[in-house]
Amino acid sequence: MAEIAANEANGRPLEIWFADEARIGQKNKITRRWARRGTRPSAPRDLRTASTYIFGAICPAHGKAAGLVLPRCTTEAMSLHLARISQAVAPGAHAVLLSMRFESSPEAPK
């Protein structure tokens, strides 16, 4: 980080951000049913699932945060998340974003 601050920031403030995304939601359990041995009873169940994705980022040194709740985790969703983070970065400052695996995707925005 010191090398980035010295070579890339050109004396401007440097903000270090940490980001991640997570899926939360419902997935129904296996349906079980009592039955006599040797029979094959039907066991209807709800096969629907419901989930959403939470995108979040923090800059603990400056007490800043940015987040989104979106229905899918796509390249467009990540682009929206990066735009939200860039709005939270101080004007004239540089930001370093430390994230998990999404940015290694060939579809990730550059």
What whole-number distance in Å separates Cα of residue 51 and Cα of residue 70? Answer: 10
Structural domain contains residue 44:
no
Per-residue pLDDT at 17: 95
pLDDT at 82: 94
Residue at 33 is within a domain = no
The whole-number pLDDT of residue 40 equals 86
Give the residue ranges of the chain where pLDDT is below 70: 1-9, 101-110
In a domain, 92, yes or no: yes
pLDDT at position 109, please? 55
Q: Is 70 contained in some domain?
A: yes
Angle at alpha carbon of residue 106, lines to 87 and 66, rounded to 5°: 20
* 40 domain residue, yes or no: no
Domain range spanning residue 69? 7-20+52-102
Give the per-residue pLDDT at 104: 55
Cβ-based neighbours of 89, under 8 Å, separated by 6 or more: 15, 17, 59, 64, 95
Place of tokens 């270090």: 16
pLDDT at 8: 61
Asked if residue 78 is part of any domain, the answer here is yes
Tally of structural domains, the chain: 1
